[in-house]
């Protein structure tokens, strides 16, 4: 399920490139629903490690999904985790989740909006397999 064809990988790379061009992220990852890293990009010198970010995303997604299910909401679409000087955003993108990290708190609204748009676009091409 996590294997991508060359065409799929190139198509997803274009989406990720667009996200990067519209935001100032410290790191961006495309993660499978079980936490496998499919793509990762970070600015030079960032302290975020790809495997750590993706495994944290998997834990957050699991906890978020269980919480949404227990309170009767339909589906986890997005999770924003804000710290004192940075934030993470995770957005449902069909078969995948987008994960972004930024220390630009003033850009949080813009980044979340960009993630919502591109997550929907990716989900149209790569719908969730249940």
Question: Please, what are the averages of pLDDT over each run of 10 residues along the chain (130 residues)?
Answer: 78 93 94 87 89 90 91 92 95 93 94 96 88
Domain that holds residue 48: 6-125
Residue 110 placed within a domain? yes
Here the contacts of 113-120 (C-beta below 8 Å, separation 24 or greater) are 114/19, 114/22, 114/23, 115/19, 115/78, 115/89, 115/91, 116/78, 116/91, 118/15, 118/18, 118/19, 118/91, 118/93, 119/77, 119/78, 119/91, 119/92, 119/93, 120/93
Query: Does residue 52 lie in a domain region?
Result: yes
Domain count, the chain: 1
In this predicted structure, what is the pLDDT of residue 100? Answer: 95
The CATH number of the domain holding residue 100 is 3.30.450.30
Residue 130 inside a domain? The answer is: no
Q: What is the pLDDT of residues 16-52, one digit of tens each?
A: 999 999 999 999 999 988 888 899 999 988 888 899 9
pTM of the predicted structure, to 2 decimals: 0.89
Q: What pLDDT sits at residue 35?
A: 82
């Amino acid at each position: 399920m996590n294997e991508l064809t060359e065409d799929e990988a190139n198509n997803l790379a274009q989406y990720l490139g667009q996200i990067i061009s519209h935001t100032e992220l410290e790191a961006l990852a495309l993660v499978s629903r079980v936490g496998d890293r499919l793509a990762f990009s970070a600015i030079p010198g960032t302290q975020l490690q790809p495997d750590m970010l993706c495994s944290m995303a998997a834990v957050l997604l699991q906890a978020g999904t269980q919480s949404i299910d227990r309170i009767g909401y339909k589906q986890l679409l997005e999770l924003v985790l804000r710290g004192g000087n940075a934030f993470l955003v995770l957005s449902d993108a069909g078969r995948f989740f987008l994960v972004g990290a930024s220390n630009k708190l003033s850009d949080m609204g813009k980044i979340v909006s960009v993630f919502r748009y591109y997550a929907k676009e990716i989900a149209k091409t790569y719908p969730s397999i249940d």
